[in-house]
Structure 1
């Protein structure tokens, strides 16, 4: 597999991360505009902080950064921004880590699937329409309606496996 085919979080060559963040924010602004959602300064800043790394970010780490920048921000400030970003489909919650990553909307999957490197903690969202169909078919067989699904797969990214 060429590094061009790898998720950005797992590439061995450097990418322009400032472009990565800038593109994510532009997609978010366009998405909010298209859906009539208010993309406030605090929501934008929380999203920007999440996208600054391809590793999951915890809510209290976000709160600490916001407090450094703006003074006495209270936890509800960050939690309300995260709720908005989750509902808008702009971030995902990594359940097992109780942390957040930016949504790679390019996949367009209803149910996210994540590869999580157990060494460097990089996270990549992957497409998996065949997995989605298989799970939906099995759920349908037993009369189960899926409301929410998150698949988290742990292992080693190419860089960490190489050592």
Structure 2
């Protein structure tokens, strides 16, 4: 019910909702992490192809298509600074899951939603207003970094 309400407020909510549903079907962090890393060179070399592809799909209203294909703004370069910012929860999730062996299905699901949404944003990073797509993953950042620390003592702090 909350998913439907969210989508009714703004069509871009289709992305995190679809990602969440996908993680019920397949919830392997290693696979989604690989997809995240692969999306970077794909965006660098085929970014305009992905922007055109997602625009043609028309999975939203005209406003959503305008975010992707509207008249180009001055700042439509590959945003390395935003990618660097987005990498912090990617690294945190990798650290907790693979290095510290944190095993929590719900955490895997939320981490994978972040990776899926952020991968989509990386693919369309050069599009107008791409930061609006980045926010669809960035709102989960704090949870990905903090949740394992609150759930289980992972780091030892000596006094």
TM-score bracket relative to the smaller structure: under 0.3
Point out the structure with the larger strand share.
Answer: 1
